[in-house]
Amino acid sequence: MAFAAHFHPASASDDGPDAAAALCARIADHADASAVLRLSIGEFGSGLAMVSSFGTESAVLLAMAAEIDRAVPVIFLETGKLFPETIAYQEMLVDRLGLSDVRLVRPAPAALAMQDPDGQLWRQAADRCCTLRKTLPLQSGLTGFSAWVTGRKRFQATSRRAVEIFEAEASGRIKINPLAHWTSAQIDAAFKERDLPRHPLEAYGFASIGCTTCTRPVAPGQDRRAGRWFGQAKTECGIHLSLPSAA
């Protein structure tokens, strides 16, 4: 786990995938998530941001961050289509954990007016809707950051089974997934250990929560993300597929 002395964030954009591979090679699969997060915050400093959906599992990673530094920037994508329960949960968690730099990132009003004036784009073109309401706003929100922390985990879906703790985007920005190798049981245990509140929609069968337009409860035994874009081949909104700029 002693990667801190060997990695220099300033060179991340030059090293590209090699930088992420080098980091992964120094950390065992069972590496302590809090230690990964602490070392990452120390390495990247003001160049690191967390991105959180404030969904059903988000409280664990947010609590870990708060235990290290409550001033770590946390980016929350407010798409304009979120469940009211998610908004209320976000506000409650921020207050409870004492997070002091939560940044609400929203789609550009001019872009919405031009591309989705009636708010129905999701019906005709889900990918375009996600690009408009999530991918482009996040790209803007991450401007100036050389690394970002996400809550992705391998157990969440078959499409995420290859997630590593450290990954490099094409731009050179490093993506950090401290909980990549965690299990659902570990998440549940962390909620109990830290006495964290659950997302209110979890009680109604929602396992992965996005916008009201593309989220439904899941059946027992399904992937946790099976309720997203139900009936479509789409499995990701796009923010984990391509974010072109690390500037």
**What is the model's pTM?**
0.82
What's residue 161's pLDDT?
72
Q: What DSSP assignment string belongs to the chain? A: ---GGG--GGGHHHHTHHHHHHHHHTS-TT--HHHHHHHHHHHHGGGEEEE----SSHHHHHHHHHHH-TTS-EEEE--S-B-HHHHHHHHHHHHHHT---EEEE---HHHHHHH-TTS-HHHH-HHHHHIIIIIHHHHHHTTT-SEEE----GGG-GGGTT--SEEE-TTS-EEE-TTTT--HHHHHHHHHHHTPPPPGGGGGT-SS--BTTSB----TTS-TTTTBTTTSS----STTT------
Is 237 known to be catalytic?
A: yes
What's residue 233's pLDDT?
58
What's residue 225's pLDDT?
63
What's residue 11's pLDDT?
38
- Given the residues 129, 130, 214, 237, the one annotated as active site: 237
What's residue 21's pLDDT?
57
Domain 13-204 in this protein, CATH class = alpha beta
Q: List average pLDDT for each run of 10 residues in the chain, which is 247 residues long.
A: 36 50 55 86 91 94 96 95 96 97 96 94 88 91 92 72 80 87 90 96 88 83 68 56 45
What's residue 240's pLDDT?
52
What's residue 5's pLDDT?
32
Domain ranges of the chain: 13-204
